[in-house]
Amino acid sequence: MNTQIKTVLLTVLTLSVFVLALVELSGVSSTALFNKYHIGPNVPEATRDQKVAAMPKTTIQFYDTMFDFGSIKEGDVVKHAFKFKNTGNNPLLISKADVSCGCTVPTFSKEPIAPGAEGEIMVQYNSNHHPGNQQKNVLVHSNAQMEAISIGFKANVDPK
């Protein structure tokens, strides 16, 4: 190989290492965020809550905070995705989602949501043994400026 090609390859390699280091140190990658705040998918909930509380604050915008399933039959299992956007300048991390009833199960990503990116909380409701008008809430905890935000749904459950 001639000297000019070696110089170009060495320059590309050096720049690549520099960019990787910059991404890791800036917190842009989820791995860097996990390393910086020691948060990951397998961290116990109590520890995760403490770590998320210590993170820099950001803002979150839900596109809807209340959903109406309308009339459903008792025993139906229904789902709705509550979509949101990280409208702040720091990564958004949800620490937990508290429910008002065991019939309601929220699921969400344990990964950080980058500034400007969108995410969702999927809420599943099992209407078995819950006839009549129902309204359930989920309290979403995160490192947003408003640390707890309530989302929920209602349904008219027709008895069997």
Q: Which strand (E) or helix (H) includes residue 6?
A: helix 3-26
Please answer whether residues 102 and 119 qualify as being in contact, where contact means their C-beta atoms are separated by less than 8 angstroms. no
pLDDT tens digits, residue range 41-96? 555 666 777 888 888 999 999 999 999 999 999 999 999 999 999 999 999 999 99
Predicted TM-score (pTM) above 0.75: no
Report the greatest alpha carbon distance in the chain: 82
Give the pLDDT of residue 22.
57
Q: Please check whether residue 57 is in contact with residue 88, taking contact to mean a CB–CB distance below 8 angstroms.
A: yes
CA 111, 30, 141: angle at the middle one, nearest 5? 35
Give the DSSP letter string of 26-72.
HT-SHHHHHHHHT--TTS-HHHHHHHHHHSPPB-EEES-SEEEEEEE
Is pLDDT above 70 for 154?
A: yes
Q: How many CB atoms lie within 10 A of CB 55?
A: 19
pLDDT band at residue 36, thresholds of 50, 70 and 90?
low
What's residue 77's pLDDT? 96
Report CA 105 to chain centroid distance, whole Å: 15
